[in-house]
Structure formats: structure tokens, C-alpha cells
């Protein structure tokens, strides 16, 4: 049902050009005006060719891959729950 997506962090120098042109390559999740980066989600099958196209843009400084989908999100607790000791 859901397509496999990969996240990219795109560092740029021109905010106006980035907001207009990055939407062509995938869905823009967040743009930081102060730190000049954008979080972008693209199809995982087109990851390599999209990175190459983004690096060719004149306003792009650096493109980094996000490892968010590779981080384990299921946690197991081997220690007992201590919240009952701290309640009023």
C-alpha cells in the first residue's frame, strides 16, 4: 500500500531557489530558513539518480542521506518500571 521512501537532507545556499525547485524531486517535509537545509522524501528506487541530479543544481552545497528508516524503533525493556516509585 505504501511506497518505500528514503529521506534526504539537502544543504543549500539560496532559499528562494530551493523552495521552488526541490518540489520537483520529491515531497519536501521541512525547510529551515535559518540553517539553510531541507528535509526531502523521495522514492527509494530513484535514490541514486535523484542525489546525482540534486548535486548538479547550482544552489545545492551538500546532499546527505537520512538513516531514519534504519534506526530501530521497537524497544524492549529488561529493567523493571520505576515510575510507581516517583508518583505522588
pLDDT of residue 86: 76
Question: Yes or no: is domain 5-67 CATH 3.30.70.80?
Answer: yes
pLDDT of residue 71: 83
pLDDT of residue 82: 74
Write out residues in the chain with pLDDT < 70, as ranges. 1, 87-88
User: What is d(CA 88, CA 84) in angstroms, rounded to the nearest whole number?
Assistant: 9
Strand partners, 9: 39, 64
Residue 82, CA atoms < 13 Å, CB-side half-sphere? 3
The domain ranges of the chain are: 5-67
pLDDT of residue 6: 92
pLDDT of residue 87: 66
Q: Which residues contact 33 (CB under 8 A, 6 or more apart)?
A: 15
Amino acid at each position: 500500500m505504501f511506497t518505500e521512501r528514503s529521506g534526504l537532507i539537502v544543504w543549500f545556499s539560496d532559499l528562494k531557489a530551493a523552495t521552488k525547485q526541490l518540489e520537483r524531486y520529491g515531497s519536501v517535509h521541512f525547510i529551515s530558513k535559518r540553517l539553510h537545509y531541507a528535509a526531502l522524501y523521495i522514492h527509494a528506487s530513484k535514490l541514486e539518480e535523484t542525489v546525482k541530479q540534486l548535486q548538479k543544481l547550482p544552489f545545492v552545497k551538500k546532499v546527505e542521506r537520512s538513516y531514519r528508516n534504519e534506526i530501530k524503533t521497537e524497544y524492549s525493556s529488561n529493567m523493571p518500571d520505576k515510575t510507581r516509585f516517583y508518583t505522588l
